[in-house]
Amino acid sequence: MGTCGYLAPEFSMGEIREKSDTFSFGVVLLELITGKKPIINRSVFSEDSNPHETLANWARPLLTEALQNGNFESLVDSRLCNIYNYDEMKRMIACAAACVRLSPHNRPMMSKVVLVLAGQASPDDLFIGLK
């Protein structure tokens, strides 16, 4: 508990919930997908005044884009050399995207995440009721 990079945004307001753990699990998924650490050095990516950023904040727009266009190249660890099961990666990316949502109310229950990762539910189920 309290490890930088894994903390849900609501933690800064002193709120800890079940969905805070969901956020942390999403960061673990992002580590597996990207091969990056939970705190990344932004200077590798851009000339920014903030040299460090969380993996979740960096990945959030890339997750959305990847799910919309079906191209995972900007997210997936290049050391995989694009050798992975596309459907399994899509499930992981969808779960990570859902788990690291800023609002805890919009994050799925872990039971739903497990079903999607196991292939027993559709990744689309993670987006039902969201705009």
Predicted pLDDT at 25: 95
Distance CA 46, CA 71 (A): 22
Element (H, E) at 92: helix 86-99
Q: Are 118 and 93 in contact (CB under 8 A)?
A: no
Predicted pLDDT at 26: 96
Q: Is 66 exposed, middle or buried (0-12, 13-18, 19+ CB in 10 A)?
A: buried
Query: What does the mean pLDDT of the chain come to?
Result: 87
Domain locations along the chain? 15-125
CATH 3.40.50.2000 applies to domain 15-125 = no
Predicted pLDDT at 119: 96
Distance CA 22, CA 99 (A): 6
Highest mean pLDDT out of 8-22, 41-55, 78-92:
78-92
How large is the average pLDDT for residues 71-99? 96
pLDDT at 32 over 70: yes
pLDDT at 92 over 80: yes
Coil vs helix vs strand at 53 = strand
How large is the average pLDDT for residues 1-11? 70
High-pLDDT (> 90) share of the chain, %:
69
Going by pLDDT thresholds of 50, 70 and 90, the confidence category of residue 9 is: confident
Distance CA 50, CA 82 (A): 31
Backbone dihedral region of 15: left (phi > 0), alpha (psi from -120 to 50 degrees) or beta? beta
Going by pLDDT thresholds of 50, 70 and 90, the confidence category of residue 35 is: very high
